Amino acid sequence: MTQEASNPKESLSLKLPEPEVSSSEPWGDDVLGRAEIAGRLTNLIRDQSSPFTISIHGYWGTGKTFMLKRWQKDLENQGFQAIYFNAWEDDFCNDPLLAIIGQLSDHFNKEESTFKSLAASVGKKGVLLLKQNAMGLVEKHIGITLELKQGEIDQWDPLEDSLSQRATKDDLKKELTNLSNRVREETGHPLVFIIDELDRCRPTFAIELLERVKHIFDVRDLVFVFGLNRDELCKSLASVYGDIEVDVYLRRFFDMEFTLPEADGEKFGGYLMQRYGLSQFFTELSRAVESPVHENEFQTLADYFPSVWTRLGLSLREIDYCVRLIALVGKNVGTRHSFFPLVLGLLIPLKHCNPVLYRRFVEAEALASEVMNYVYETVSLRESEVELEEVLKGTERYLYFDDRQNQRGITQEQLQLLADGEPLTRPDLISKRTLESDNNRVFILQMKNFTRPVFGIPRDFVDHLVRLIDLHQGMVRR
């Protein structure tokens, strides 16, 4: 047995590192179809000459940052000069102008061309304007914002300084125009500046950054693209300005606004299981115990449960958390212990979408039939979804083996009565869907027809899973 196979937990991750963007194939890992959207944006800005500002709105998990980083590389491959800037990483700056100028200078310092000298001129004017802005604060913050000698403060003229700032701002815009024009001449395209994570910044920083772009960087052949969560940005605006019409306010800054579509929850969940190393983990775990059960059940989990999670109402962020929690369970499970992927794949999302039912079930106060009734009613299976029906049926079968309330034997008796067409003494132990089904379903749910050895399913296996999920033993009442 190889060392890799003997330690399957090494493949698991609890937090994903930011993947490197391939310069040659930036869209090589695009599973959400964002390359197509980026291509349309490229066509939109390719020949843009007037000052132009775009916002790309996307909720968490829609692939906004993923797309913008790869789009920047894609634009470079097509001959554009494109800059990617994570605003959140620089929101410690007092003035966002410093962050923007710094990012622009860093980008063109790598260029051995006339761009480098033009960018340096922009930087010099930007620094001068920053100094003048700081002087303008002395009246309110003497000795705090700048440490000035008394004579320098006495000589400072606010009106003269204001005129000087305006002149410097005009000079800065001229230098920016020279740079963007040169970029256009050499590349045939506008200079593209992508600013991401604006909504995560301090409210005042985010607002000031928008203001700087609006009043200083509105020059020809320069396109700004903002990646943001519009809802969160609106909250930031409201926290500063109070009760204002945020939609009207934001339209001042953006010439066009787009919204990324929600990612497909099923594809997203399957993708995450690969990224967090769960596929490799289950494969190696199956080899370690010399049984294909773990691997087969994981494949079922990966293929079908993301659909169940989505229909249970889980957001993309919650789906991500579910997958990470499965990885956490994998980190803690013993190599020779049963994992019960199908039950795990149901209990973890239940904890999010119906925490009351989850807690009642793990405390042995709610029956397996109550859990399955909730799932069937919420998921709303269509008649054509035969395979998904079989998966949930398999999960229901497992839950009927839970014996913490000493009900496993009675549940099997009820299933036999149902198969024989006899009246049930405890119909509450059986799900409504099974009560209304044919004998084939009942046959599958019965313990005696279970293909996996029943002795491998302990009476308290749910407690075992809960210890792995919650990291402690629940207070089970028996």
CATH number of the domain that residue 242 is part of: 3.40.50
Distance CA 116, CA 110 (A): 8
Kindly state whether residue 195 falls inside one of the protein's structural domains.
yes
CA atoms lying within 13 Å on the CB side of residue 444? 15
> Is the domain of 205 the same as that of 308?
no
The torsion angle over the Cα atoms of residues 58, 60, 66 and 68, rounded to 10 degrees, is: 30
Kindly state whether residue 210 falls inside one of the protein's structural domains.
yes
Q: Whole-prediction pTM value? A: 0.75
**b (16+ CB within 10 A) / e for 263-282:** bbbbebbbbbbebbbbbebb
> Is the domain of 191 the same as that of 314?
no
Amino acid identity of 56? I
> Is the domain of 337 the same as that of 233?
no
> Is the domain of 229 the same as that of 286?
no
- Residue 470 to residues 142, 325, 366, 464: CA-CA distances in angstroms? 55, 9, 18, 10
Kindly state whether residue 8 falls inside one of the protein's structural domains.
no
Distance CA 139, CA 134 (A): 10
Question: Which residues lie closer than 8 Å to 443 by C-beta, 6 or more apart?
Answer: 419, 449
Q: What's the pLDDT at 165?
A: 67
Domain end marker among 199, 228, 259: 259
Distance CA 321, CA 348 (A): 9
Question: Which residues lie closer than 8 Å to 396 by C-beta, 6 or more apart?
Answer: 368, 372, 431, 434, 445
* Residue 61 near residue 263, CB atoms below 8 Å: yes
Range of the domain at 445: 265-470
Residue 258's H or E segment, with its range, is strand 256-259
Quote the number of domains for the chain.
2
Distance CA 379, CA 265 (A): 14
* Residue 201 near residue 88, CB atoms below 8 Å: yes
* Residue 288 near residue 339, CB atoms below 8 Å: no
> Is the domain of 270 the same as that of 255?
no
Kindly state whether residue 91 falls inside one of the protein's structural domains.
yes
> Is the domain of 221 the same as that of 294?
no
Kindly state whether residue 28 falls inside one of the protein's structural domains.
no
Q: What's the pLDDT at 53?
A: 96
Q: What's the pLDDT at 334?
A: 66
Distance CA 454, CA 457 (A): 5
For 111, other C-beta atoms within 10 Å of its C-beta total: 13
> Is the domain of 466 the same as that of 330?
yes
Of residues 250, 290, 273, 410, the one with CA closest to residue 330: 273
> Is the domain of 400 the same as that of 281?
yes
> What tokens does 425 get?
């003494």
Distance CA 317, CA 378 (A): 20
Per-residue pLDDT of the chain (478 residues; tens, 9 = 90+): 344 445 667 777 777 777 789 999 999 988 888 999 999 999 999 999 999 999 999 988 788 999 999 999 999 999 999 999 999 988 777 788 888 988 998 899 876 667 888 888 888 888 787 776 654 443 333 333 344 444 444 443 444 445 566 788 888 999 999 999 999 999 999 999 999 999 989 888 998 999 999 989 999 999 999 999 998 888 888 888 887 788 888 888 999 999 998 878 888 888 888 888 887 777 777 666 555 555 677 788 888 899 999 999 898 888 989 998 988 888 877 655 567 888 999 999 999 999 999 999 999 999 999 999 999 999 988 888 888 998 999 899 999 988 888 888 999 999 999 999 999 999 999 999 999 988 888 988 887 776 666 656 778 888 888 888 886 544 443 3
> Is the domain of 253 the same as that of 272?
no
Question: Which residues lie closer than 8 Å to 305 by C-beta, 6 or more apart?
Answer: 269, 345, 346, 349, 391
Distance of CA 249 to the CA centre of its chain: 27
Kindly state whether residue 25 falls inside one of the protein's structural domains.
no
> Is the domain of 128 the same as that of 197?
yes
Kindly state whether residue 244 falls inside one of the protein's structural domains.
yes
Q: What's the pLDDT at 235?
A: 86
Q: What's the pLDDT at 478?
A: 35
Q: Count H helices, E strands: the chain?
A: 22, 5
Q: What's the pLDDT at 154?
A: 46
Domain end marker among 201, 229, 259: 259
> Is the domain of 355 the same as that of 229?
no
Kindly state whether residue 283 falls inside one of the protein's structural domains.
yes
* Residue 323 near residue 273, CB atoms below 8 Å: yes
> Is the domain of 251 the same as that of 292?
no
Of residues 207, 124, 131, 216, the one with CA closest to residue 169: 216
Domain end marker among 210, 230, 259: 259
